[in-house]
Amino acid sequence: MAITFYCYPKCGTCKKAKKWMEENQVEYNDIHIVENPPSKEELRSLITRSGLPIKKFFNTSGKKYRELGLKDKLNEVTDEGKIDWLASDGMLIKRPITTDGDKVTLGFKEEQFEGNWK
C-alpha cells in the first residue's frame, strides 16, 4: 500500500523525507500541500490518528504563521478554529505529513520513518 505524502517541493525537510523513502523503496503518493491542502475532515482524521495535539500541526517556523501572529492567538481559539486555519492554507501546516491510512507521522525523523514505513 502506498503512503500518502503531503509535502511542499521547496521544503528541505520534505526533500530529505522523499529521499529516504526513495532510498528505502517506499511507495508513496506525493500531494502538494499548498496546492491541495488536506480538507478539514482529513485534518481531523490525521490529528486523531497521530495522537498529537493540534498545535503540533502548525508550521511554527513558517512566514505565514508569523505574519498572522498565530503564536499569540492559538490558545484563544477552539480546536475547530485551529482546524479551520490549517485547512485554509497549506503553508500553515507542518510538513511533511505521511500516512498509510492508519499511522501518521509529522515532520521527518529518520528513526520514526524506519519504525513506520520500512
Point out the residues that are catalytic: 11
Contacts of 97 (CB under 8 A, 6+ apart): 4, 5, 6, 33, 38, 46, 57, 104, 105, 106
d(C-alpha 115, C-alpha 118), whole Å = 7
d(C-alpha 116, C-alpha 98), whole Å = 10
Q: Measured in whole angstroms, how far is the alpha carbon of residue 29 from the centre of its chain? A: 14
